[in-house]
Structure 1
């Protein structure tokens, strides 16, 4: 099982495709770091969304121009609705007339939606352009920018169209977190806590001690160590299992419920991290029912309950169950759930009955009502 410590000094991801670094840098330093990655201009594609562009488009474009690059900026609407085939086609329509070359870097500046959409565009344009993620949301920094998952949603389910496409690098500026709304801090910390639950009891302890400062005060001195540690865990797991054939499935703890919640509520109604927080509470309940002595359920559920989530009392379990059956993790018609033997000891269960899953969901609904 991967283990980590708070604030690892150097981060990289070693996959069967390429090894790429994770660097904590200022946005103004991005052009120089692209050069260090062996990526050169003059053209660079910058994909971002309207909210992020309002804060960071101008300074990053200025940095590129000062370094002799020619940035081509594409701004998409914010939110989960941009992870669509329609928005992807608009990206193609905008970028293909630019006469890009296979050496033209694509930089995604934003959160998970921009990273997934822009990453899939990079993976498919000219059969693959160099990709660099510049994650500005806490969720993207701790999770989605690492590992090479790209794609868009479909009415049938979330992330059903996409590819594994590893970036050339992930460049993180923690200062961009200052402009995040409070809800985005919740999204990111849900994934950070998930990493601790599946791989690192020390990170669970750390988040218990610092979650109030992180969510309430947006204290970067408390946040950055959690970000580094969560990224380290994700990098280790991805390095062992690039295409989710084994251990990488552990990263889906809480996600079978979460993706169903997002779909049934309507994409964007319940944010991804909020859905993951709810899904982890349900998965933790299932885990505890299997091994009541192995998990301190009350303590761990209390930690997850510190993450504010919207009212989901109106969501039908029948609708959730149907959505789960279409989840990409379903195998041979069987819904699979990532559960915990103990903190840091996850496993994939294929034998959860509908009744047991409904009891878990009833627990979540009652405790959040």
Structure 2
């Protein structure tokens, strides 16, 4: 955000301040980093339920008889094949194949799609969709300011939410969405999340956010959770973060996400030529998981070193893992690096031994 632009308060700002949340500017929004202990918030999501304010995310609607075709052209996924009531993880790429943002797209009706963008990229995505939808019978509208997004995540999320809605949650599959009422207000209830646990994301009117939050937060098993816990949870689950693992200089294939690029869909799409070439060529680097042998955490930007001490990669995200009890990291390694050959991370001038492991670090049972 430019220096003269004031950070935006979400509809839940006063609630966070009342809970003694440590507020920080995140992508131009004032968001709670933590309330008390980020570790306790992380553990609550893994063992019971955590409550998150995600109202900084963008809600962009694409509607009209040509909405599906417009999205097929604009995004790397096959959105025409998406059934009503289902969601899909996808990306919007530049002509050179670089990732402009990773997205979740919900099909709410035959001619109504909801595109959820990362906070830092709302304008970029809205502008790109508008430009790419030109020539199709489709309208693009950024309705982010009208919505709040509240997420309830954890093994008890289903049980807890069921006490506040009569929507048929039991039949709601992962990556599916339905309309219902939660705590007496209208909501779109999605079985999605960014923590590696079962859970729900609730799209509600900005005016209804406080009522929904207070109803869920009143449950004894629910712990409010901030950005720090959300980051360590998604890191354990091996989920990429835009600005870290994904950037405009990163391709889906480097990030091990080539599966979302549907080169075989029967329409041209922005970036297809470059992405097809990348799919046919081994990437120069690849995203891997690292577990530290010691206690010092690799952090974003730290160099990965060979046994000879030569740089061979870079850490994109790193933090202590409350679940594993050891520091973990995501990193890009140069192609050809031998993973078993005594790799280390330069942690403030000292090499710290790490092991390359399969992702995700954590997977719920």
TM-score, structure 2 as length reference: 0.30
Between structures 1 and 2, the one with greater helix share = 1
Between structures 1 and 2, the one with greater strand share = 2
TM-score, structure 1 as length reference: 0.30
